[in-house]
Chains A and B, each alone.
Chain A
């Protein structure tokens, strides 16, 4: 099972919106509404930001939103803030013995 494909890096200015894509296949992203997104600051553990493609855990800002079209899931961050800088990882349920697969991660720089 190959990793999901994410852009290596994205950037944006404070107040702008950015979108990070996560491309899989019809066997993972395309088959299940079980995509999650994680934010990771340097030297820290990942933090769940989105689950079930579009759902936000309690305490996560509504500036973060998720969507999916076909085999590609997306994370959009609106009203960029300096604290949003870090790495973002997508993850999809695959099922069977593989269970889940992660993307390679995207580094977000707030200019």
Chain B
């Protein structure tokens, strides 16, 4: 079955760029929306953005200018870069798959905690 795994630094300094990668195993990276979603400690979920296998992207307008999402289909990976981070970006970051017809996130990675602190 398809599994997702996030990887990347757990600590990022303020004003620097947060970089995470999600590796897709057990299936193809085609035909789905591959998303990043985050959850600040004790709070709800926030959609960050997604990328389609073609490379087309969409980002949450509240974060758009700081977000870059890319995909490497040869490695079955997609990545997130979030620039100019502040303490407000401290959260568990999840990668997830959405089926375009249902727009529901049916498969999630385990999540990775990223703390923004000097």
What residues make up the interface of A, taking CB atoms closer than 8 Å to B? Answer: 1, 3, 34, 36, 38, 44-48, 51-52, 55, 57, 89, 91, 93, 97-105
Contacts and interface: CB of A to CB of B under 8 A. Distances in A.
B118 interface: no
12 contacts: A38-B45, A44-B110, A46-B94, A48-B105, A52-B102, A52-B104, A89-B44, A97-B58, A99-B50, A99-B60, A99-B103, A102-B46
Interface residues of B, number: 21
Interface of B: 43-47, 50, 58-61, 64, 94, 102-106, 108-111
Contacts of A52: 102, 104
Contacts of B106: 48, 51, 57
A45 B103 contact: no
B44 A99 contact: no
